[in-house]
Each structure stands twice: as structure tokens, then as C-alpha cells.
Amino acid sequence: MGSLESEKTVTGYAARDSSGHLSPYTYTLRNKGPEDVIVRVIYCGICHSDLVQMHNEMGMSNYPMVPGHEVVGVVTEIGSEVKKFKVGEHVGVGCIVGSCRSCSNCNGSMEQYCSKRIWTYNDVNHDGTPTQGGFASSMVVDQMFVVRIPENLPLEQAAPLLCAGVTVYSPMKHFGMTEPGKKCGILGLGGVGHMGVKIAKAFGLHVTVISSSDKKKEEALEVLGADAYLVSKDAEKMQEAAESLDYIMDTIPVAHPLEPYLALLKTNGKLVMLGVVPEPLHFVTPLLILGRRSIAGSFIGSMEETQETLDFCAEKKVSSMIEVVGLDYINTAMERLVKNDVRYRFVVDVAASNLDK
């Protein structure tokens, strides 16, 4: 926009290749336009999708790549047309920072499904510069893709809501999975799964965690508040639970057979796929036909739903269960996430690292 302001240089932690190793990287932020907000990053959660992008599992990665799409920060500057935010306000940025604004998805408040969506990182801004994520000191984001953090929500708690939280909240609303007393299964108890337990409980559902081991059982029942816990390898218990659930949210990030889980659904039950699995999954059709079951997918949520998720969690006092770490620990945190060794989301204290000093 013909800005005369000088370009801002920031430092982030970037992957340089598909090894995914993150190290300090200094780059220039795009110039602030009239609709933009500059956000100084305070916290940023680590999502399993960051691993997928850093390691080029989808074959679409560009480097250097600064990941991070559960960003909580403070507004430090606003463009001349920004009415929604003030300097000093706490805000959040999730998985997308742009869309076309004219397609049916954009017009229907479903900009996450816009084919011209701009990902928060590993994508290209309208001005041709690469987008870079939240493991960095600051970001420039169009106000439409920024949400407000409610005052009573601790900032580190808010970070996982910006991807993991809205990823379960949106399909729950869309598929009508909010009727108290209905039975919901959460398959895979990681970052997304644990928000699934918390948010489903806040809607009044009966929640069964379906996990690959019994390691998380006590915590799931006693701390997260799940009502039941199934270990997927326990054939006898899985058989006992046949046709008992109305919905399952599947967050497993690797290839897995669907039959054992479809068999848990009642007639009209829905299996909502949330995990990003680049390989084909397997099921036989009678498991769908003889029970009018459905398999669906869902991708994060709209900006409206992202704000709703934050407001809902603030109102219902839904908290995430996190491990806060410093940026100097980020590579270890990524390794632990690969090994399924986190309860249940890493949140990086970006501000404490004084990246620009």
C-alpha cells in the first residue's frame, strides 16, 4: 500500500529442510497495511500438524519455515482502518491468515474451506512474501483473521483453543453433537483429543476416551473428566462397547483401520475424521450400511467459530492441560510429541525468549 514505514526485522525458529530441526532465523515482516494488526507473540502451542509440515509429509513444504498456528499475543500496532482491535489488547491467531472473501465458503462464514485460504505459515501472502508462524517475536495479520482473547482466560491456556479447541468445537456444532446426554467417543487422547473431552463435557455429553494404551486412563477419568475409557487393543471391552456411541471424533495421526471404531457407533452414528493421514484408510461398507452410519471430515473452524470457542471456554471455565516450555526446548518438545509423550499440549513461552534482543 505504498507504505513509507521501514521494514521490521524479526527472529523466529525455522526449519531449513525436512529434518524439521528448528533454529533461529531472522527475516523481514511484510509491511503493515490499513487492515493489518501487528501482534507481538507471547505464547504459541505446538500442534501435530506442525510436525507434518516441518517434515514435508504432505510434499508441499517450503523452507525456511517458521511453524506455529496457536498464537497468543498482544497488539502492538494497528493499520489505519482497523476498528476491531486496540493497541495493548490480547489476541489470537490460528491456522489461516487469509482467504478470497468472495467465494461461497467465504460468503457463508466458512473461510477455512476457501480454496484460496492462506495458511498461517508455509504459504504466500497477497504481497508475495512467505507467511511465517508463531514461533517468532511478531507477526503481521489481517484483522479479519485475528480473534480476541477473553479477559478471564489465562493466555497460555488460550493457545491450544486456536487450533485444537476450534477443531473439535466446530464439528460438534455443525453435526449437532451438543445434545446433553449423547454419547461421544474421543479417539486418540493428544492435543486435539483432550480438548475434545473438555469441550464435549462442557456441552453435557457422556464422553468415552478410546486410546491406544491404558497409560492415560487415570488422568482421563480423574483429571480431564471423561466418563469411560476404552483401550482399542482390548478386543473384549471393545466388543462390549459395540453400538454404544452416537459420535466419535477420530484424532489419530497415522493410518489405522476404521472397522473397530465404526462398530462402536449406534445406528445413525457419526465418525468425524480430524487426524491428517496422507495414506488411504480401510473399512468395509456393511459397517456403514447396516446402521446408516456416516464418516465425515472437518477442518478447524471459521473465524466466527474460533471466537465462539474462546468465549465458550471462558464462560464454561474450560481449561486446556498444557506443558509450558521455552523456545530453547522446542526441538526436544517436537521429539516428545512424535513419541506421544506430552500431557496434552506443549505451549511455548515465546515472549520469555526475548527473541529480538
List residues binding ligand NAP (CB under 6 A): 47-49, 52, 163, 167, 188-193, 211-213, 216, 251-254, 256, 274-276, 298-300, 337, 340
Task: Confirm or reject binding of residue 99 to Zn ion (CB under 5 A).
Answer: yes
The partner in contact with residue 254, picked from ligand NAP, Zn ion, none with C-beta cut-offs of 5 to 8 angstroms by kind, is ligand NAP
For the bound state, the minimum distance from the C-beta of residue 114 to Zn ion, rounded and expressed in Å, comes to 3
Nearest distance from residue 88's CB to Zn ion, in Å?
Answer: 27
Among ligand NAP, Zn ion, none, what does residue 190 contact (CB within 5–8 Å per kind)?
A: ligand NAP
CB of 32 to ligand NAP, least distance (A): 28
DSSP single-letter state for residue 111: G
Question: Which residue of the chain is nearest ligand NAP when measured via CB?
Answer: 190
β-pair partners for 31: none
Neighbours of 336 (CB within 10 A): 16
Nearer to ligand NAP, 11 or 167 (CB): 167
| Concatenated DSSP letters of 2-24 | ---SPPPEEEEEEE-STT--EEE
Q: Between 106 and 147, whose beta carbon lies closer to Zn ion?
A: 106
Residue 8 or 174 having the CB closest to ligand NAP: 174
Given candidates 41, 74, 114, 347, which one binds Zn ion under the rule CB under 5 A? 114
DSSP symbol at 7: P
103 touches Zn ion by CB under 5 A: yes
- Judged by DSSP in three states, 43 sits in strand
Q: Report whether 68 contacts 346 (CB < 8 A).
A: no
Are residues 57 and 19 in contact, defined by beta-carbon separation less than 8 angstroms? no
Q: Which is nearer to ligand NAP, 79 or 193 (CB)?
A: 193
Place of cell 493489518: 36
Residue closer to ligand NAP (CB basis): 211 or 307? 211
Nearest C-alpha neighbor of 2 from the set 28, 33, 38: 33
Return the one option of ligand NAP, Zn ion, none that residue 274 interacts with (CB less than 5 to 8 A, by type): ligand NAP
Query: Taking CB within 5 to 8 Å according to partner kind, which of ligand NAP, Zn ion, none is near residue 11?
Result: none
Residue 114: contacted member of Zn ion, ligand NAP, none (CB under 5 to 8 Å, by partner type): Zn ion
Residue with Cβ nearer ligand NAP (37 or 166):
166
Partner in contact with 100, chosen from ligand NAP, Zn ion, none, beta carbon below 5 to 8 Å by kind: Zn ion
Closer residue to ligand NAP in complex, CB, 183/216: 216
Nearest CA-CA partner of 42 in 157, 156, 193, 127: 156
User: Within the chain, how many helices (H) and strands (E) appear?
Assistant: 11, 17
144 binds Zn ion (CB under 5 A): no
How far apart, in whole angstroms, are the C-alpha atoms of residue 84 and residue 147?
A: 9
Rounded least distance, CB 164 to ligand NAP, Å: 6
H helices of 203-321, in order, are 217-219, 235-240, 259-262, 286-289, 303-316
Strand duo 36-46 + 22-28: pairing: unpaired
Stretch near Zn ion under the rule CB under 5 A, chosen from 26-34, 114-122, 141-149, 259-267: 114-122
Backbone angles phi and psi of 74, in degrees to 5: -125, 140
Please check whether residue 147 is in contact with residue 129, taking contact to mean a CB–CB distance below 8 angstroms: no
Which three cell numbers, joined as nine digits, stand for 240? 462390549
DSSP E strand boundaries for 175-273: 183-187, 206-211, 228-231, 245-250, 265-273
> Strands (DSSP E) along 94-137, which ranges?
96-98, 118-119
**Minimum Å distance from CB 8 to ligand NAP?**
29
Site string for Zn ion, 25-64 (x = CB under 5 A): ----------------------x-x---------------
Q: Which is nearer to Zn ion, 109 or 213 (CB)?
A: 109
* CB of residue 87 to ligand NAP, shortest distance in Å: 31
Instruction: Quote the CA–CA distance of 150 and 315 in Å, as a whole number.
Output: 9
Supply the DSSP symbol for 328.
G
Q: Which residues bind Zn ion (CB under 5 A)?
A: 47, 49, 99-100, 103, 106, 114, 163
